[in-house]
A and B are shown apart, each in its own frame.
Chain A
Amino acid sequence: MAEVTTEQPVKLTPKDFQTDQDVRWCPGCGDYSILKQVHTILPQLGIPREQLVFVSGIGCSSRFPYYTETYGLHGIHGRATAIAAGLKATRPELSVWVVTGDGDALSIGGNHLIHLLRRNFDINVLMFNNEIYGLTKGQYSPTSPEGMVAKSTPYGSLDHPFNPIALALGADATFVARSMDRDPAHLQQMLLRCYHHPGTSFLEILQNCNIYNDGAFELFTEKATKKAHTVFLEHGKPLVFGEQQEKGIRLDGFTPQVVSLSDYSVDDLMVHDENDINKAMILSRLFEMNNGTVTYPKPFGVFYVRKRTTYEQALQKQMEQISEKLGAPDLNKLLRGRETWIVD
């Protein structure tokens, strides 16, 4: 969360964040919904447009800055996180957002992402995950499932995919959450949580690419299946899910189990604790436990959050401490150095 002081409260509407540029995503793309939810929450932040900067890399998602009336930088492939880091280090008062995709953030930009997360700059990373390369027209991505038939894998992909949540937790991210394009209310809520978290916020947004990977997340987004296959995480609440909220997740030691609430009481269930890294780790792998006989749901919401000094705070503090020790800058003294001699 960037601390911004303004003389008067700023009253803006979502419309104030639309630009004069035509939005050029394919009709029906999940990106439209994400853009809309972002534009919806921005006025709620209470900060003026000029204090916001959207930085992106390359890919469909990375066109985002052109459609948002703030400062924006459309960078190069995979490097939005690195660009944003330099901006935030020098301008900590700005609210900096990174918009990226699964290819941009996890493939070509994987290195910068993990380092951004461990350093904990106060930057909000919105990673649109559609499990496909859209802009380059349909190759598999680092989150595509094994065996995926795509343009570059006519006989099926051999790559084992990344689990973005587990990756972010592994990189010591201080805020890790998941949402989806098709649940506006939840997405808005998660975007606001990202903004209010002081540190790097990593939000994976499942986003449908209706051209190259249509229906990849149907199970979680469609009314008919959503309740049975998703569990929405809420701090302090037991993990309940199912068509009739009839199932829950119970911990047997470190192993999560799907149980029926006819056999167990709600009190037996795993209670979500956003501040518990071990529980977050378990939840990050929950859906991967699906084995054909038991159906594990995919968690949405905040997996993990903790407070840790942000990079720019530590930087600021060190700059101040050292400056105090070394005294006011004296360029002439610096240029003279320690030893000089005079030639007459």
Chain B
Amino acid sequence: MVKRTIERLEEVVIKFAGDSGDGMQLTGGQFTNTAALIGNDLGTFPDFPAEIRAPQGTLAGVSGFQLNFGSKEIYTPGDQCDVLVAMNAAALKVNLNFLRKGGTIIVNTAGFDAKNLKLAGYADNPLDNGTLEGYNVIRIDITKLTREATADITELGMKEKDRCKNMFVLGFLYWMFDRPMDHTLQMLQTKFAKNPAVLEANVRALKAGYHYGDTTETFTTRYKVDKAPMAPGEYRNIMGNQALALGLVAAAQKSGLKLFLGSYPITPASDILHELARYKNFGIITFQAEDEIAGICSAIGASFGGNIGVTTTSGPGMALKTEAIGLAVMLEIPLVICNIQRGGPSTGLPTKTEQADLLQALYGRNGECPLPVLAACSPADCFSAVYEAVRIAIHHMTPVIFLSDGYLANGSEPWRFPTAEQLPDIPVRFAEPASDHSVFKPYLRDERLVRPWARPGTKGLEHRIGGLEKEDFTGNISYEPENHEHMVKVREEKVERIADFIPLQTVEGPERGEALVLGWGGTYGAIKAAVTQLQQEGYRIAQAHLRYLKPFPRNLGTLLLSYDKVIVPEINNGQLVKVIRDKFLVPAVGINKIQGVPFTKMELVQRIKEQLG
């Protein structure tokens, strides 16, 4: 009997990488769910090619899933991996750079035959030529072992059996990290309930992988990652787009309104459409429109009808919706426009993340066309941030742009979900006819400058509105010079007054100090991790992360002046930093990365240090 040691780790990053048909997303997802159920904190990030099935074995076809889990608080999917699973030569080549020195590589040796090596562009086999020196390489002929484990399942052909390779890997990792297989066994039972042979093959492969670790005497160390100290409560795992969809459903339920989603499929926003299409018993109507413009226009029609109109898209779709957003601003109706940002411009990098649509959201329309802009900061935060977007849209009768990004959309984390009762109310007040039967004035404003929402079908409130400039109060078309200036200012002021109804900006860290690291959107986790480390190193820096990008919280200006320096990291060429410099006249400096991938903690630590001198 070999002596086995158990090593306790605080945090582990695993990357599953293989051909896009190898099932790496499923494998990663299963490991994630199991880690969550055990009580680890975690962050994930899938990384897949834009092509559904890129040519097998090529670098372009590599699909990856990164998972960071630990017994401490986890803020990001991790900078570098500790463990890399490479199902073929291409997967190794693409991901080796992200493996830390001394890390573990689990390779499927069958994926390193002459053909695979050639497709990956390796002149000779990296498993044999010293390329992997300094790494802990675990070689397993996963293909062969999976075939052997499923040998007597005669109903299945070789191709179908080979598809179970990912379960073998998963089983092996479950053994390596001392995790139970129950959750995955349960999932397989459900997934293949109608196909007993495939179920059997997958179960056997999973167990074979587990037992392979257990019985093969070469592996002497197993790892244990304990539960993380998380706030008490009930948790589930959630992805950003899923959280966004649930936030919309919750807002519809709490407001008592019907929710209408007009949308056109686009990466990485389509999952919201898919998700919402399932909730018909919640009165959610999803409409796959003929194009992006019809997506938003149908939502405008729904809003005019007294419902919550929503449209979801990504950058190129935002560009197409621009004119209709302007109409919604003129109509002053509630509408939520969700932009799941991706790399741009034009078609850009459809499956990669970027936060380069901020200026578009703030300014990208003809005329003076202000509207509130909000952004989520983590996958789970998409829920409460979009809920808030709906609340603002209804409460202030305005279209709202909600910004997420590809990183948040597909990333996942544990979520201490609220109960319906805990969610803030979203009161809705439709206009009612005046008791004196006076003519209804659709643009008569209250102290917040908000106009009434008159639901078609209400007697006595018949009115006409449109995109032409209108006279205040009556809403009649008006080209009067003074009126236009007045209306432009009123629309701007109306949005600015929303600042009276949103929380003040909070800071994590000292109230005064060397620097404030100011971020927005999906960079929260990376900034949090970097700032925490710098604080531990003794730097007097703090972090502030903006959910409200228009209007800014009332205290933001004062807050910026409390630090010697304002540093703004962004996954773009410097957008928030421009707005901050313009609005507050502070010499804020940017830290920018435009590579379609998130910041790593270490690069932020280093670049913030450079700024601090």
Contact assessment for A82 and B456 in the assembled complex, using a CB-CB cutoff below 8 Å? no
Cα of A85 to Cα of B296 in the assembled complex, Å: 11
Question: Is B465 in contact with A73, judged by CB distance below 8 angstroms?
Answer: yes
- CB-defined interface of A300-321 with B at 8 Å, one 1/0 digit per residue? 0000000000000001001100
Complex: how many Å from CA A251 to CA B445?
64
Set of chain B residues within 8 Å of A66, measured between Cβ atoms: 464, 466, 477
**1/0 contact string of B342-373 vs chain A (CB within 8 Å):** 00000000000000000000000000000000
Which A residues are in CB contact (< 8 Å) with B553?
none
**A73–B283 CB distance below 8 A:** no
Which one of B39, B231, B287, B464 lies within 8 Å of A73 (CB-CB)? Answer: B464
- A82-B293 in contact given A323-B280, A331-B250 (Cβ < 8 Å): yes
- Determine the distance from Cα of A331 to Cα of B304 in the docked complex, in whole angstroms: 26
Min CB distance A315 to B, Å, is 7
Inter-subunit contact B301/A86 (CB<8 Å): yes
CB of B237 within 8 Å of the partner chain = yes
> A310: shortest Cβ distance to chain B, in Å?
14
Q: Are B246 and A76 in contact (CB under 8 A)?
A: no
Q: Which residues of B contact A342 (CB under 8 A)?
A: 233-235
- The residues in A between 46 and 81 inclusive whose CB is less than 8 angstroms from any CB of B are 48-51, 53, 55-56, 65-66, 68-76, 79
A51's closest neighbor in chain B, by CB? B457
A322 contacts the other chain (Cβ, under 8 Å)?
yes
Which one of A83, A90, A337 lies within 8 Å of B297 (CB-CB)? A83
Name the residue of chain A whose CB is nearest to the CB of B419.
Answer: A332
CA distance A291 to B337 in the complex (A): 53
Decide if A112 is an interface residue (CB 8 Å cutoff).
yes
Interface stretch among B5-13, B305-313, B564-572? B305-313
Is A89 an interface position by the 8 A CB rule?
Answer: yes
Nearest A-chain residue to B296, judged by Cβ: A82
Whether A86 contacts B302 by the Cβ 8 Å rule is yes
- B280 and A318: CB pair below 8 A? yes
**A85-B294 contact, Cβ under 8 Å, with A72-B464, A91-B306, A335-B420:** yes
Residues of chain B with a CB closer than 8 A to A339's CB: 33, 36-37, 183, 236-237
A90 and B307 contact, Cβ closer than 8 Å, known pairs A343-B232, A343-B233:
yes
Complex CA gap A201/B613 in Å reads 71
Determine the distance from Cα of A94 to Cα of B467 in the docked complex, in whole angstroms.
22
Q: Contact partner of B462 among A50, A82, A85, CB < 8 A?
A: A50
Instruction: Verify A48–B459 contact, CB threshold 8 A.
Output: yes
Chain B positions within 8 Å of A336 at CB level: 234, 236, 417
Contact of B466 among A20, A65, A87, A90 (CB under 8 A): A65
| A254 contacts B by Cβ under 8 Å | no
Contact pick for A75, options B250, B253, B327, B457, CB 8 Å: B327
B285 located at the interface, meaning its Cβ lies under 8 Å from any Cβ of chain A in the complex: yes
Residues of A contacting B234 in the complex (Cβ-Cβ under 8 angstroms): 336, 340-343
Instruction: Check B298–A319 contact: CB distance below 8 A.
Output: no
The verdict on B281 contacting chain A, using a C-beta distance below 8 Å, is yes
Q: How many residues of chain A are within 8 Å of chain B by beta carbon?
A: 59
Asked if A327 lies at the interface with its beta carbon under 8 angstroms from chain B, I say yes
Per-position binary interface string of chain B over residues 216-243, scored 1 when its CB falls under 8 Å from any chain A CB and 0 otherwise: 0000000000010011111111100000
A111:B291 contact, CB within 8 angstroms:
yes
Asked if A85 and B305 make an inter-chain contact with CB atoms under 8 angstroms apart, the answer reads no
Which B residues touch A73, using CB under 8 A?
301, 304, 331, 464-466
Select which of B233, B297, B456 is within 8 A of A79 by beta carbon.
B297
Chain B residues near A49 (CB-CB < 8 A): 459, 462
A115 near B282 with CB under 8 A, answer no
Q: Which of A53, A328, A334 gathers the greatest number of chain B CB atoms within 10 Å?
A: A334
* Contact, CB under 8 Å: B293 / A79: yes
| Contact assessment for B280 and A79 in the assembled complex, using a CB-CB cutoff below 8 Å | no
- Collect the chain A residues with CB atoms within 8 Å of residue B301's CB: 55, 73, 82-90
Among residues 303 to 344 in chain B, which have CB atoms less than 8 Å away from a CB atom of chain A?
A: 304-307, 309, 323-324, 326-327, 331
Say yes or no: A89 contacts B287, CB within 8 Å.
yes
List B229-280 residues whose CB lies under 8 Å from chain A: 230-238, 246, 249-250, 253, 258, 260, 262, 279-280
A76 to B457, CA, bound (A): 23
Min CB distance, A4 to chain B, in Å?
Answer: 9
A19 at the interface (CB under 8 A from B): yes
| B457 engages A319 (CB within 8 Å) | no
Interface size range on B against A = 35 or more
List of A residues within 8 angstroms of B419 by Cβ: 332, 335
A234 at interface (Cβ–Cβ under 8 A)? Answer: no
State whether A74 and B235 are in contact (beta carbons under 8 Å apart), knowing that A50-B456, A50-B459, A50-B462 are contacts in the complex.
no
Residue-wise interface mask of B (463-490) relative to A, using a CB-CB cutoff of 8 A (1 in contact, 0 not):
1111110000000110000000000000
Assembled-state Cα–Cα distance A334/B418 (Å) = 11
Q: Given A75-B297, A83-B297, A322-B281, is A91 in contact with B457 using a C-beta cutoff of 8 Å? A: yes
Contact A19 B297 (CB under 8 A): no
- Inside 8 A of B285's CB, which chain A residues have their CB? 89-90, 315, 319
Pick from B39, B306, B459, B466: contact of A341, CB below 8 A. B39
Whether B250 contacts A86 by the Cβ 8 Å rule is no
Q: Please judge, given known A-B contacts A82-B293, A83-B298, A335-B419, whether A76 and B467 are in contact too, CB under 8 Å.
A: yes
**Interface presence of A344 (CB below 8 A):** yes
Specify which of B246, B283, B297 is in contact with A335 (CB 8 Å cutoff).
Answer: B246
- Closest chain A residue, CB of each to CB of B259: A90
Q: Does B589 contact A (CB under 8 A)?
A: no
Q: Looking at the complex, which one of B253, B324, B464 makes contact with A74 (CB distance below 8 Å)?
A: B464
Q: Within 8 Å of chain A (Cβ to Cβ): is B534?
A: no
Does A292 sit within 8 A of B, measured CB to CB? no
The answer for the CA separation of A68 and B463 in the assembled complex, in Å, is 9
**A328 to B301 CA separation, bound complex (whole angstroms):** 27
Residues of A whose CB lies within 8 Å of any CB of B are 19-21, 48-51, 53, 55-56, 65-66, 68-76, 79, 82-91, 93-94, 111-112, 115, 315, 318-319, 322-323, 326-329, 331-332, 334-344
6 further A-B contacts with Cβ under 8 Å, apart from A65-B466, A75-B466, A334-B249, are A55-B301, A65-B464, A76-B326, A88-B301, A326-B281, A331-B420
Q: Offer 24 A-B interface pairs, CB within 8 angstroms, sorted by A.
A: A19-B464, A50-B461, A65-B464, A70-B462, A71-B462, A79-B294, A83-B297, A83-B298, A83-B300, A85-B289, A85-B298, A86-B287, A86-B298, A90-B285, A93-B457, A94-B457, A111-B290, A115-B289, A115-B290, A315-B285, A318-B280, A319-B280, A323-B280, A329-B279
B residues bordering A, Cβ < 8 Å?
33, 36-37, 39, 183, 227, 230-238, 246, 249-250, 253, 258, 260, 262, 279-283, 285, 287, 289-291, 293-294, 297-302, 304-307, 309, 323-324, 326-327, 331, 417-420, 439, 456-468, 476-477
Which 5 A-B residue pairings sit nearest by Cβ, starting from the closest? A74-B466, A86-B298, A86-B301, A72-B464, A82-B297
